[in-house]
Amino acid sequence: MVAPDSQADPAGGLEEILLATFEEAAAGDFDVIIVGGGATAAVTLKKLLQLAPDTRVLLLEQGPYLLPDHVQNLGVVLQPLMDRAVANPWRSEGDLELVSQVPYLGGRTLFWSGASPQPTAQQLAGWPKSVVDELDEEWAEAKRIVGVRRASELGPEFGNLNSRLRQRIHEGTGPDSQLVLPADPSLLDAPLGMAATTEPGATRKFSAVPLLFEALAGHRGSVAVLPRCKVVGLACEDGRVTAVRTTRGELAVGGARIVLATGTVENTELVLRSLPPSATPLAGSNLAGNAASFFNCRLPRAAFEDLATDRPELAALYLDGATEDREFVLHLSASATVDPGRDVETVYRLLPDVFGEGTPERLTDPDHVVFLVNGVTELAGVRAADSPSRVYLDADGATVGAFHLDESDRRAWDALDRTTDEVLRLVAGDSALEYWSPEHRRWESEPVAARRMPFAFLEAGTLWMGESPEESVTDLHGRLHGLDNLYVTGGALFPTRGSWNPLLTMAALALRLARHLAR
């Protein structure tokens, strides 16, 4: 535990000044131990301390401190980290690779896109009704924490270009399209986790790190964050977790409750390594997630009238679509500028999905409107012990993520790609699209053949919640069946997954769990 008056050598760096040591953590007496330092950990911690300020909390993060905020809040010079600050501590098999983790304090919230839709009642139809009803009480606060606003609310940059694209798509989409459009075209504006700041016109994309540091600052004597401490197992006895095994040593639990708040695969791996298969026969099955098609294209600037020249013109649209039994979503972003040097930082800060080598430079082409096209489709899980897509430990003890697409998954991906081309035809009108070829490093007239990403991401479902241990892995509050003091939060709890970005839903679930823990 870090005492309120403890001193640290500033030369030791930020970790030594603000964060705990293993010796301090081992000597502490905690009420709650949170495993993970990403979004769900930060939101759980924030709400728990709001409801029960004297709660003693230890947070264990496997990686070091890397960045104080989302990388897009910190300047375009750091953009290459989006592709480089990752790790793959698991093996993949099946049709798609498992996406990399971000092994640093803040996790994927250092680099995430910002998309923050609230799932509809229909999208949560496979969830327990009591959970859905209670989430209705959490959405508003979750949106405040994440900072959710529509793209057109972010500033004057989302002006004529955004409205023109929205109009062309809403008015031009025919009855045979697989897009599912709202009656109100303004609802096509992407919901993004980008809160306003005290500086006029400024925004800040959500990240877990500021929330964690706020908790440390406000509860210096009762909250400890221990980085570089990976949890590798849990010792369990008589229906309780009794110790947390880490790469730095073992920590006694005492009367604490444990919250697994890492990623879906990491949470599942811990359960599989800590309990015999007979205790959790369903753990690891029901692996769900998303697949993606991603590319850049462009149109001549002259294809759009009345674009501003005193600032960049930006757009960010969120277009839902569906097949008979799957859903997909098209994230369509665009940029137009006449002064790349003036505008590159603004474009980088405000648009989602600005990853990939050279993307900021391509987005600030003075002669073109440049599009980021990011289509996301559903990969459904199967809630059964023999589900084909799953997380498991192989004979050598390695963690394996297996994604196997079925025919419905494949049809939905095909529908996504067809719909994407349909939308781009509406956007282009009589103008000719050009497509960026990563292979040839140039713009070409033919669509990109290799638009499909080789990995699955936003994985979920493997420790899903439900009424009984015969039909689920965790109870309705995320407590593992059979263990009194072990809770799970995050995407692993989802009984079903669609194509929507899950971060807002994970935040709402974390708020709900914090209320339960504070009672």
Dihedrals phi, psi of 494, to nearest 5 degrees: -65, 125
8 Å CB contact between 183 and 171: no
Give the Cα separation of 391 and 365 in Å (integer).
Answer: 43
Q: What DSSP state is assigned to residue 49? A: H
Q: Of 413, 201, 427, give the one whose Cα is nearest residue 334.
A: 427
Dihedrals phi, psi of 420, to nearest 5 degrees: -60, -45
Which position has the token pair 């870090």? 2
| Per-domain residue ranges of the chain | 21-518
Q: Which helix (H) or strand (E) holds 149?
A: strand 148-150
- CA-based Rg of the chain, rounded to a whole angstrom? 23
pLDDT in tens, 435-455: 999 999 999 999 988 999 999
Q: Of 354, 370, 374, 353, give the one whose Cα is nearest residue 452.
A: 374
pLDDT in tens, 398-407: 999 999 999 9
pLDDT at 1: 35
Residue 338's Cβ-side half-sphere holds a number of Cα atoms within 13 Å equal to: 8
pTM, rounded to two decimals: 0.95
What is the CB neighbour count within 10 angstroms for residue 459? 27
Q: Of 60, 107, 70, give the one whose Cα is nearest residue 227.
A: 60
pLDDT at 203: 85
Dihedrals phi, psi of 444, to nearest 5 degrees: -135, 160
Strands 57-60 and 223-226 come out as parallel
8 Å CB contact between 503 and 295: no
Enumerate residue ranges in the chain where pLDDT < 70. Answer: 1-14, 17, 198, 200-201
In 238-323, DSSP assigns E strands to 240-246, 249-252, 257-260, 288-300, 313-322
Strands 288-300 and 368-379 come out as antiparallel
pLDDT at 457: 97
CATH of domain 21-518: 3.50.50.60
pLDDT at 274: 98
Q: Of 284, 236, 64, give the one whose Cα is nearest residue 244.
A: 236
